[in-house]
Amino acid sequence: MIHIPKAEYTRRRKALMAQMEPNSIAILPAAAVAIRNRDVEHVYRQDSDFQYLSGFPEPEAVIVLMPGRQHGEYVLFCRERNVERELWDGLRAGTEGAIRDFGADDAFPITDIDDILPGLIEGRDRVYSAMGSNAEFDRHLMEWINVIRSKAHLGAQPPNEFVALDHLLHDMRLYKSAAEVKVMREAARISCAAHVKAMQASRAGLYEFSLEAELDYEFRKGGAKMPAYGSIVAAGRNSCILHYQQNDALLKDGDLVLIDAGCEIDCYASDITRTWPVSGKFSPEQKAIYEIVLASQEAAFAQIAPNKHWNQAHEATVQVITAGLVKLGLLQGNVDELIASEAYRAFYMHRAGHWLGMDVHDVGEYKVGGEWRVLEVGMALTVEPGIYISPDNQNVAKKWRGIGVRIEDDVVVTKQGCEILTGGVPKTVAEIEALMAAAR
Ligand code: GLY
Ligand code: MN
Ligand code: MN
């Protein structure tokens, strides 16, 4: 299976440590287990920062990075092996596995962290952590610091600076390595196959979750353990709800269905949206809206290249969508003025994309020094323009109401421009209608 090689985790830790101030320590907790109901847990998904630096897939673990430490710079606290617990809940790496299989220089039982970690922090000037994102961990960290402070009269030296780790770490995550792009290509490939399958299966009389079942099957069959986020399967007027999650309505003849879904591989997301007619043939109004969205996406791709800034792709979509809506009579007036007054936002109320990576809405700054970020090779993002005509919009003729179209692809910035990772799903009206006709 395609995955991030072990050596890459080592390289990341070293790169982070090289950027940390002298005599500092970084501390990161694993994601907590989330309870679904009573004694049932949600499927465990590691915290992305933790995963990025360790590849260690278990809960109840803490990464400690101490640049320059003689006895090893990378310490991992984790659960000990336990025959009884492993019988019930699954295998654990244990401290030996943490060293043997996950590259830790040193490993300790998580149950000993209160005794050991203050001693590791003591004498370091600065602590890097994800302050503010995990209240319980922040509280623990302060308890460990207070242990050191309480021994100050004995000569213990508590750290004096607390630094948000995000800035360094999230900037690293923004630039995807060749190995990361390879994993993301694989996630994209599987997600493309899933969208094709859902298009082929689309029929009036099914439910939205029937198509979700096709997606889930293709994800897992293709080699992905899980979706990267809750799949959106939105038919008819539901396509105008941006983050629709209910997925339980009936598919009807004449309606569009919008599917926004992607799997993740080794914690790397894909994020694809396609919109198609439930029964395989676009109505004239649906087609008119669809063509504008598609043209706006093409215009956006042309604005994704090194030295173009983050917002240029969005601006391109706004231009094409506003002009298109004027042409159809859905907006009236001068295109430039409608853009300046943001009139298009009644139909296109989100941005053209976001960073993509281990988190579907990935980390990384969009502005630097108050200016839109300039794109660089290795940055991954989505391009996802849409037009949504509210079923309640009294300003437009009835025939337009309830039409929602989004088209979303994943790209990586390359030297020449960008590589589209998700080109494997039909996108033009003719391609979609042909694929669906062949499946009938
Ligand atoms: N799937 C959420 C998004 O497209 O941003
Ligand atoms: Mn999406
Ligand atoms: Mn997206």
> How many percent of the chain have pLDDT more than 90?
99
Mapping DSSP to helix (H, G, I), strand (E, B) and coil, where does residue 151 land?
coil
1 pLDDT band, cuts 50/70/90, is confident
Ligand 2 centroid vs 261 CA: distance in angstroms?
Answer: 6
Q: pLDDT tens, 166-215? A: 999 999 999 999 999 999 999 999 999 999 999 999 999 999 999 999 99
CB-defined site of ligand 1, < 6 Å? 229, 260, 271, 354, 360, 384, 408
Tell whether the torsion through CA atoms of 333, 336, 341 and 347 is positive or negative.
Answer: positive
Q: Is the pTM of this model over 0.85?
A: yes
Ligand index nearest the alpha carbon of residue 191: 2
- Residues having C-beta closer than 5 Å to ion ligand 3: 271, 382
The amino acid at 334: N
How high is the mean pLDDT of the chain? 98
Ligand 1 pocket test target in 241, 247, 361, 407 with most atoms within 8 Å of CB: 361
Q: pLDDT tens, 374-405? A: 999 999 999 999 999 999 999 999 999 999 99
Q: Which residues contact 89 (CB under 8 A, 6 or more apart)?
A: none
Ligand 3 centroid vs 20 CA: distance in angstroms?
Answer: 32
Task: Tell whether the model's pLDDT for residue 361 goes beyond 90.
Answer: yes
Tokens of 123: 């004498």
Ligand 1 pocket test target in 244, 407, 408, 422 with most atoms within 8 Å of CB: 408
Ligand 2 centroid vs 271 CA: distance in angstroms?
Answer: 5
* CATH tag for 175-439 (out of 3.90.230.10, 3.40.190.10, 3.40.50.170, 3.60.21.10): 3.90.230.10
Instruction: Classify strands 40-41 and 35-37 as parallel, antiparallel or unpaired.
Output: antiparallel
Catalytic positions: 39, 243, 260, 271, 350, 354, 361, 384, 388, 406, 408
Ligand 1 pocket test target in 384, 388, 405 with most atoms within 8 Å of CB: 384
As assigned by CATH, the class of the 6-173 domain is: alpha beta
User: Where along the chain do its domains lie?
Assistant: 6-173, 175-439
Ligand 1 centroid vs 269 CA: distance in angstroms?
Answer: 11
Alpha helices in 150-245 (DSSP H): 166-174, 178-201, 208-222
| Residue position matching structure tokens 């001693």 | 119
Mean pLDDT, rounded, for 345-367: 98
How far apart are alpha carbons 199 and 435 in whole angstroms?
8
> DSSP secondary structure string, 170-194?
HHHHHB--HHHHHHHHHHHHHHHHH
Specify the pLDDT at position 117.
98
How far apart are alpha carbons 4 and 20 in whole angstroms?
24
How far apart are alpha carbons 196 and 400 in whole angstroms?
27
**Main-chain phi, psi angles of 292, to 5 degrees:** -65, -45
